[in-house]
Structure 1
Amino acid sequence: MRTSYGFHFNEPIPERLCVLESVGWGEAVDAGYGQDGLRRAGSGHLFQYTLAGEGAITVAGQTYRVPKHHGFFATIPSDHRYYYPPDGRKPWEFVWIRAKGGPMSDHWRHFIRVFGHVAAFRPDSEPVRLLWSLYREAGAQGLRDKYRMSLRLTEWLLAFERMAEGRDAGDRPLPDSLRRAKLFMESRVGDTVTLDDVAAAAGMSKHHFCKVYKAHTGVTPIHHLRKIRVEEAARLLRNTGLSVEEVSRQTGFDNVSYFGKVFRQFVGTTPSEYRKGQSNRYDGRQLQIVD
């Protein structure tokens, strides 16, 4: 288990304020990682968001998977346990935020009613962007004033509230055909995949598939395939010593020059520049992939 704390607050917490207890990045690599919500120390409310791989959480006997771009809500203490699943194939990489005080309990109950214990959140959604902003600001020692901290946390909570209010309009589940196509693309990141292959996974003609996919997701299938390849490439650049050429090969790009061009379009830097920048975990750039 590797962790990088952007912040850990250990001062007395005023009752009427929302106060950040901790925020950080972590990576679990084996089944030894887990937290029991009835046994761990302290109290508060936890949101943990998956960047890569997959975790799991059991709440009152019900188990939920927490795949990439999903987050879970948990209250400490409560009857829950989150962990790296025994059948995990990739490291579970995540960011978390834990806070308490003020109206946090009411917000958390509302979020769980609306979203469920586990929900999908786009990496460019307002709550996730604000989470990274809090992580960076805390890491730069910018949240030492408890009133500014409460203001920033309230802004983050209201981002979830705004999303909850419009959930029915903006967060419809994908039809099974498109979900199959997305799973097919995500499982074939390192392979040669054509648009015909993806459309076949959805059971549609190529022309109809492209039209329906963009109508539901706002992007083309090819854009999505490039994006998940770049995300996997970014993970490999962060967490392995593979050469840029090998990362290019393992993420399905025809040649390293084309890989560099696409990577820069999504991330804003070259693969080599991105790898150098990861020596500072507080910059949060692992999520700065334009959709």
Structure 2
Amino acid sequence: MNEFNASYWMLENTPSILAKSMFYYVQSTGHFFCNDGYNTERSSYDSILLLYTINGKGILNYRGQEYSIDRNQGFIINCNEHQHYKTAREGNWEMAWLHFNGSESRLYVEYILKNSGPVFTLSANSVIPDRIRKIQDAVKDRNTRVDISNSHMIVEMLTELMLMACTQNAGGEHLPHIVSDAVKRIENNYREGINLDLLSRELGISKYHLSRVFKKHTGFSPYEYLIKFRISQSKMLIKTTDLQICEISNTIGFDSTSHYIKIFRQHEGITPLQFRKLWIKS
């Protein structure tokens, strides 16, 4: 990068050994304001880059194709491969970005690239700008829980991009707003007593239509999606905290511990306590 052609701030992050072995982890993040002299070209960098345009326009060359990255668009790429991105000719480019790695990052990204390519368009309800800002704040004000919360937010962004990729692969269209809104409401309120009736009222749609369109585009009913999300959150708590099983059950929104244990066993084949013992042993 040519510093005469850009003003910027960036943050480097050194994840813990635990984070690198278990989580999705942040490597660096920043916010750039660039004129037409800015460009970056590289390869063999062990990282995933997620970037979106706030204002102006950028150009990405990746896997033999050139892409325009306009306002409210972004891209995700594997930086081990050759990449070249720059400000569009005679213009400016303001963007926020995140380098991350770990866990199943490459499998997520390869699926997204295969099904929808590197470039995406942010919906009005996209979590990506908010999560990148929160990750940046967390890296600035580092505390003992930052690696766990950052991993969770990275998964949220990857999930959004995977849902877009699934829909584009199936029908060539973005996920309907009603479905993406329902997904976000479920994920943001999974600890509470959310149900199909409440969800449909909040979205202003009949519960029968919501069930059909949600199942069509996600493969799950809203209730199935809620349960799967709760179980996923509980597995993270089992692995990363000393909370008792009854406390985890209450934290993720189950009315009773026995019901939580029953549902967990249905999904994982073992009880939460057995899952914890296996995790500690491994």
**Superposition TM-score tier, normalisation by shorter sequence:** 0.5 to 0.7
**Residue identity matched to 1:15:** S
Using the TM superposition, give the Cα deviation of residue 88 of structure 1 relative to its aligned residue in structure 2, in angstroms: 2.9
Within a 5 Å distance, the mapping from 1:1-291 to structure 2 comes to: 1-5=6-10, 7-11=11-15, 14-31=20-37, 33-38=38-43, 42-85=45-88, 87-89=89-91, 91-122=92-123, 124-141=125-142, 145-167=146-168, 168=171, 171=174
Contact 2:43 2:81 (8 Å CA) reproduced: yes
Higher relative contact order (CA 8 A, sep 6+): 1
Aligned-pair RMSD on alpha carbons? 2.7
Can you list the C-alpha shifts for 1:121-158, whole angstroms capped at 9, x where unaligned? 13541233322332333333357643333233223322
Unaligned runs of 5+ in 2: 1-5, 176-282
Can you list the C-alpha shifts for 1:229-280, whole angstroms capped at 9, x where unaligned? xxxxxxxxxxxxxxxxxxxxxxxxxxxxxxxxxxxxxxxxxxxxxxxxxxxx
Can you list the C-alpha shifts for 1:2-57, whole angstroms capped at 9, x where unaligned? 1122x4213465233210111211111132x2111326xx4110011001110101
Distance 1:117 1:104 in 2: 14
Using the TM superposition, give the Cα deviation of residue 68 of structure 1 relative to its aligned residue in structure 2, in angstroms: 0.8
TM-score normalized by the length of structure 1: 0.51
Matched with 1:223 is none
Contact 1:127 1:160 (8 Å CA) reproduced: no
Distance 2:161 2:118 in 1: 14
Distance 1:164 1:60 in 2: 18
Contact 1:69 1:123 (8 Å CA) reproduced: no
Matched with 1:212 is none
Unaligned runs of 5+ in 1: 173-291
Distance 1:57 1:165 in 2: 23
**Residue identity matched to 2:82:** D
- Cα 1:88–1:110 shift into 2, 3 Å: farther
Matched with 1:222 is none
**Residue identity matched to 1:111:** I
Please give the secondary structure, in 2, of the residue aligned with 1:15. helix
Using the TM superposition, give the Cα deviation of residue 166 of structure 1 relative to its aligned residue in structure 2, in angstroms: 4.0
Contact 1:127 1:156 (8 Å CA) reproduced: yes
Aligned length: 167
- Cα 1:137–1:11 shift into 2, 3 Å: closer
Contact 2:54 2:96 (8 Å CA) reproduced: yes
Contact 2:13 2:139 (8 Å CA) reproduced: no
- Cα 1:80–1:16 shift into 2, 3 Å: same
Q: Which runs of 4+ in 1 moved over 6 A?
A: none
Using the TM superposition, give the Cα deviation of residue 114 of structure 1 relative to its aligned residue in structure 2, in angstroms: 2.6
Distance 1:159 1:151 in 2: 13
- Cα 1:106–1:53 shift into 2, 3 Å: same
Distance 1:103 1:121 in 2: 23
Using the TM superposition, give the Cα deviation of residue 100 of structure 1 relative to its aligned residue in structure 2, in angstroms: 0.4
TM-score normalized by the length of structure 2: 0.52
Q: Percent identity between the aligned chains?
A: 17
- Cα 1:149–1:119 shift into 2, 3 Å: closer
